[in-house]
Chain A
Amino acid sequence: MALLSEVKKDYGKLKNYVNGEWIDSNSDKVIDIENPSTGETIGKLPMSTVDETKAAIEAAHEAWWAWRETPPITRGRIFFRLKELMEQHFENVARIMVQEQGKTIDEARGETRRTIENVEVAAGIPSLMMGYNLEDGAAEGIDEDAVISPLGVFGAICPFNFPAMIPYWFWPYAVATGNTYIIKPSSQVPLTQNYLTKLVEEAGFPPGVLNIVNGSHEVSDTLMEHPKVKGISFVGSTPVAKYIYKHSAENGKRVQAQGGAKNSLVVMPDAVLDRTVSNMLASFYGCAGERCLAGSNLVAVGDVADSLMKKFVEASKKIKMGYGLDESVNMGPVVSAKAKKKVLEYIDSAEADGAKILLDGRKAKVPGYEKGHFVGPTVIDRVTPDMKVAKEEIFGPVVTYLRMKNMDEVLDFIHSSPFGNAASIYTQSGKWAREFRYRCQVGNIGINIGIVAAMAYFPFAGYKNSFFGDLHGQGQDAIKFFTDRKVVITRWF
């Protein structure tokens, strides 16, 4: 099967986008951007300095008031233009994502769609950020209004698994509500955001309204510490999310910090097995398991365990791995050699703990892509709740199979996890489904759906160590996060 063409072979050294200009970083620290399927270097990324980050913050602050005074309908119209540009460049965005992240082209197209959906929702900002009022709300002849106002400069520190979408959970809402913004893309996958920002520029956002600063922790720390930054959004691992939450809050910021996950997919004895297995494959192996909504523990309840296992392993064997620009490929590599090593260590630990490896992806090879970071679909049976692989986030295409007696045991297991991002149940029973959605303490519940990815107009975040903050990403929560309520009480003599 011929590959779809790459947008470019080499993207060169990336620049920052500050105050409407593409600027070279002066930093002498530059890292390679790698294609995880081929192992080739496809670009260079400068690690921007503290001063460069401060300059971006100042530019965003300077741009803020004029942007805040721009009527919401005008701000919304620029988002409509951006949406049109994103539709025109849809395929390029998706293909760049495949090149730098390793996901399949369908996954990349799906992510591009979700990215655009956030722009579509933000374009409706006049309706979304309306305040409210009450005539005679304070007393007779004294009216009371609540006005929704932007706050200033916000920033996002972004992860490697969704190069396009995750920054778009935040910045369109921030900017549409009248704030200005700074994105620090993941240093592993900055290319997609770089490309999208060229579309942002073309759409006509004024200079300084959206800025991109490439780099690492110097950029992040500066964003968290600078007095002119009002809030930080973050997605990544739990230890870093905790740090971001604490450090940003210490510096007086609003924070929403999304962390790791360990999601269970629970199969009840009455589940429709063929459909269930097919849906679970997408959850466990989609994006090579590198998503915070990926299934990780497969929990079989009662006597369904053996028949489910057989079907699931057979279906897993048919997953085709390869470079995501081959449209017949079902699963790409993990993002880096380091990520692969970590996943393999987890599989080794399960074996050492006495679990049984039914399908072993450790030695997976893709002909022609020997330098790619591929891990094959892996199914580990006889996992018990106390094993490391049942408790920790693996972030790879690894299924840990647990057998349980009933719903109480399942819920006790899920609730014993420090994470609370998502959980799914597969059943035809309304009673079980209702009980699960009612009792299960996680942020996202799936009923016969293994990837519980909230649409742009719904809020997204988890519970417990999967999220630090209160207002979630996307939807009305995003509007609230990026604005404040100002009360005005009026009397005319």
Chain B
Amino acid sequence: MVECDFPECTTFGAVIRFALELEKGAAGVYEELSREPKAAAAAEMFRSLAVAHKKRGELVEFTRQQKLNEMILEPIQDLKREAYLIDTKTPKGVDVKAAARFAGKIEETSARFYLDAAKIAKNLMAEAARIMDKLGKESLANKTKLDSL
């Protein structure tokens, strides 16, 4: 399993940091998958998903800087990081199906994280919740695309 230096999600900043690490991890996985010879048929799609996850990272960074409202900066208690850790050790020599399965798990976990965070964030950071909801739905759509490979 990954082990980025994920913080416990007890604050707005920690949730955002977790999201940033997820995006960085996902982008890295897609970049590596795009270079897999046996998965070359899906290389273009993996490259575009790597770019998309980098852009998502920028959006998360923007959220941290622009959407934080100190008036409602309340502790967060119901988001356990263990439930959302992703595996970023990209397997070697995988074909398209195996690569898509591996990436699909990342998207599934990301979707779950963002949609859960959006629910919690709705009360604590309403503007950020909208962005998290969008990212969660995007991950679900990515998963569907990967499943179709």
A interface vs B, CB < 8 Å?
1-2, 87, 90-91, 104-107, 109-111, 113-114, 275, 278-279, 281-282, 286, 315, 318-320, 326-330, 449, 451-453
Contact = CB atoms under 8 A, between A and B. Distances in A.
Contacts of B68: 106, 109-110, 113
B65 A279 contact: no
Interface string B77-113: 1000000000000000000000000000000000000
Contact of A329 (B11, B12, B70, B123): B11
Given A107-B70, A328-B11, A318 B65 contact: no
B74 A279 contact: yes
Given A282-B73, A449-B71, 7 more contacts: A107-B73, A113-B65, A279-B72, A315-B75, A327-B17, A329-B10, A453-B70
B28 interface: no
Interface of B: 5, 7-14, 17, 64-66, 68-75, 77, 123-124
Nearest to A90: B65
A109 to B, nearest CB: 5
Contact of B74 (A91, A281, A452): A281
A109 B64 contact: yes
B5 A105 contact: no
A392 B10 CA distance: 32
Scoring B11, B64, B70, B124 by chain A CB atoms within 10 A of each residue's CB, the highest score goes to: B70
Given A1-B8, A330-B11, A319 B74 contact: no
B7 A328 contact: yes
Nearest to A329: B11
B73 A318 contact: no
The 6 closest A-B pairs by CB, nearest first: A110-B70, A327-B13, A106-B13, A328-B8, A328-B7, A327-B14
Contacts of B65: 87, 90-91, 109, 113
Nearest to A450: B71
Contact of A111 (B12, B70, B75): B70
Contacts of B8: 1, 328
19 contacts: A2-B5, A91-B65, A104-B11, A106-B12, A109-B65, A110-B68, A110-B70, A113-B66, A275-B123, A279-B72, A281-B74, A281-B75, A286-B73, A315-B75, A315-B77, A327-B7, A327-B11, A451-B71, A453-B70
A318 B123 contact: no
A484 B124 CA distance: 42
